Amino acid sequence: MSELRMVPGKPCRLCRKRVWLEEGQTFCPHCTGKIEKLYAYPCRKCGNPASDCECSGNKWLKFLFWYDCPTARTYINRLKNDPRDYEVEFLGTELAKKCTGRYDAVTFVPRDPAARKVHGSDHAELLAHAVAEALGLPVVATLECRGVIIQKFLSASQREKLVRGRFAVLDEALRDHRRLLLVDDVSTTGATLRGTSRLLREHGAEAVACAAMCKTQENYR
């Protein structure tokens, strides 16, 4: 028996089944169609996929997928509850391709301490590490989450104001890293990313670019 036949296949980056993938292939044939649909999922306003959305409200953010597509939500749930290295690496590498600015470091929006304890990891931090790895940059923790606030029924501006109470800036980390790429998993109203990036600029960051794996469309419920 040849050595080659003993080697197990690589896991598909969506269904996680071990299959024989050719070099450079990431998905099994069944999942390839699902991924094509995910990338092509249209914006309800301009009709374009996430990569080409022309809506002015979305231009400030680099993001991969529309959260509205069920496959995007599968990825988010796994990142939160059952992350796998190879999947996080795939998502981080894809997101890094969109982040073409000049940054000194990658940072992230931390989850609240109680949730971190329950899950044992911070999904935004995991994603930030994968993005940083792909870009050849360090990861620095610049924000500390003080606690969780139920935001569901609040407007974007109310949420943005609350950011000041929820997050503290770790000034030491900012000293050597002035241009930051701030990573989160999902952006809904954009209030958390906008609020935290403003907070970082107030504490001395020169520039803060925002990136998220998914963005919800305006009328998503």
- Give dist(CA 74, CA 54) in Å, integer: 25
CA-nearest of 107, 127, 34, 111 to 74 is 34
The Cα 55–Cα 45 span in angstroms is 7
> Which residue, 145 or 186, has its beta carbon nearer to Zn ion?
186
Of the pair 17, 175, the CB lying nearest Zn ion is at 17
CB of 81 to Zn ion, least distance (A): 19
List of residues contacting Zn ion (CB under 5 A) = 12, 14-15, 28, 31, 43, 45-46, 53, 55
HSE-CB for 169 with a 13 A CA cutoff: 18
Nearest distance, CB of residue 204 and Zn ion, angstroms = 34
Minimum distance of Zn ion from residue 19's CB (angstroms): 7
Amino acid at 209: A
Q: How far is the CB of 20 from Zn ion (least distance, A)?
A: 12
Q: Which is nearer to Zn ion, 31 or 130 (CB)?
A: 31
The nearer residue to Zn ion, 3 or 85, going by C-beta atoms, is 85
All residues at 6 or more sequence positions from 36 whose CB lies less than 8 Å from its CB, including other chains: none
The answer to whether 105 and 177 have CB atoms below 8 angstroms apart is yes
Nearest approach in angstroms of CB 98 to Zn ion is 16
Q: Do the bridges between strand 143-145 and strand 207-215 make them parallel or antiparallel, or are there none, so unpaired?
A: unpaired
CA atoms within 13 A on the CB side of 37: 11
What is the Cβ-side half-sphere exposure of residue 91, based on CA atoms within 13 angstroms? 33
Q: 46 or 114, CB closer to Zn ion?
A: 46
